[in-house]
Amino acid sequence: MKSSRRALGVGVTLLSVTVGALASAASALAGAGMCAVPSFDPAIPPGPRDNVCLALVRTLALRVGVMSAGATAIVVLMAVGLSRLVVGPDGPSGLESERP
């Protein structure tokens, strides 16, 4: 019983960290392009990137990653809990459990 709990905990943690990291990276890449100063004249090169804007994008991307990791953990644990509630503490019963 303890090994299944430990495996569940490790699996949920790894899944949450992976989803959070992917969401954070995607939102940082999507938002970082807006921090360059645009140039309307093709002869003039665009301005340098704004450091304050980049810091804001990184902070918001980190928050998106943390929130999506937390939401992933909640949803997965809720699904596991509901499946265990349906199956019961003794495991599956009925015709399906008696098959070889």
Give residue 66's domain range: 48-72
Q: Percent of the chain scored above 70 by pLDDT?
A: 81
Res 79: pLDDT:
93
The number of folded domains in the chain is: 1
CA distance 52 to 2: 48
Residue 84 φ then ψ, to 5°: -70, -30
Res 98: pLDDT:
55
The predicted-structure confidence for 20-44, as pLDDT tens digits, reads as follows 999 999 998 888 777 777 667 777 7
Is there a domain that residue 25 lies in?
Answer: no
Residue 50 φ then ψ, to 5°: -85, 120
Is there a domain that residue 64 lies in?
Answer: yes
Res 11: pLDDT:
93
Is there a domain that residue 39 lies in?
Answer: no
**Where do we find the tokens 């002869």?**
43
Look at phi and psi of residue 94 and say left if phi exceeds 0, alpha if psi is from -120 to 50, else beta.
left
Is there a domain that residue 63 lies in?
Answer: yes
Res 34: pLDDT:
76
